[in-house]
Amino acid sequence: MTNIPDPGPTPQPSRPAEDWWWQLEDADGAVVAGESPTFPSQGDAESWLGESWRELREGGARAVRLFEGDREVYGPMGLDA
């Protein structure tokens, strides 16, 4: 055994700044396994969500947050009918 300090958790790679994507969360605000696809624009991301929210909800997501790269744009936004 060595006395090398534990570096802690491995940081997640950052996303390209031009990628738009949704973080999926459960009712407690915990991130749901899986990710949305990435999109070239905010409009494309929002259109996909409009078409997919029911399936996401069936899969356990109760809210979403929109990101552009690593920057949160808005959320959480509920997926209630």
The span from the CA of 44 to the CA of 64, in Å, is 15
Phi, psi for 51 (deg, rounded to 5): -90, -20
pLDDT value of residue 11:
37
Give the model confidence (pLDDT) of 48-72 as tens digits: 999 999 999 999 999 999 999 999 9
Model pTM score: 0.77
- Six token digits for residue 13: 């790679």
Give the model confidence (pLDDT) of 9-26 as tens digits: 433 446 666 899 999 999
- Six token digits for residue 31: 């991130």
